[in-house]
Amino acid sequence: MLGLGTLRRVAGELRHDVAAAHERDPAARGVSSLEILAAWPGVQALLAHRLAYALREQGVPVAPRLLALFSRSFTNIEIHPCAEIGDGLFIDHGTGVVIGETAEVGDNVTMYQGVTLGGTGFATGKRHPTVQDNVTIGSGAKLLGPITIGHGAKIGANSVVVHDVPPNSTVVGVPGHPVRVEGVRPEGPDADWAHLPDPVADAVKMLSARVAVLERRLAESDGSPAPAEVVALRHRRGPNPAGG
């Protein structure tokens, strides 16, 4: 049913998936590969998907969908057998993750619980997102439709993304707003969700500054007392939860 070449390929992909868990999950430090394979639902769901995808490629009927159904019941992670998954995907926690039929996921992508790569409408054909390499997707984020998430992008938790995302940028909000990161982002995931850019707060800060200028000019023109100072919004910076 599955040739030796296919089994070797699946084994190689599994090694990359386990290595990704070792590298990106602090809870996996010092844990054996066997324990990760036995107790990490994200790795288990990927193993089931790799096998289901290989069976589908061989033209085996029914079995790929049954394997995907069993994996969903066991891990609470749903990956369609037709979805194309690259090497080194890490699904942290994993509960509620859904990856649709025509989704494409590149190499070294990191997803957290509750992520959806979903479709829009009832048309057939490409209808799910394409996620390029080195993308990090925060918990609860929804990526909908045949959009492209560029290399190295970062999707904030609970964002709803319905448009293409440029490479090396950050998206936050509902609907998602891309925020260009200064310079080129370093490769690999970034778990510092506490200090994501906030475009709404930045806009309010700019408006507050303009109101202060207008009030001062009005006070100078009619000789009235100077208005109360508008306190600028400041981002409170705390310790980096990613350990930086």
> Per the structure block, which two tokens stand in for 155?
């999707």
Q: Sign of the C-alpha dihedral, residues 78, 83, 88, 89?
A: negative
Please tell me what DSSP assigns to residue 28: G
Place of tokens 């984020």: 141
Q: Domain limits of the chain?
A: 4-195, 198-244
In terms of pLDDT, which residue wins out, 238 or 144? Answer: 144
End-to-end distance of the chain based on CA atoms, in angstroms?
48
CATH level 3 topology of 4-195: UDP N-Acetylglucosamine Acyltransferase; domain 1 (2.160.10)
Winning range, highest mean pLDDT, from 1-10, 52-61, 64-73, 115-124: 64-73
Phi, psi of 212 (to 5 degrees): -60, -45
- Give me the pLDDT at residue 181, please: 60
pTM, entire model: 0.75
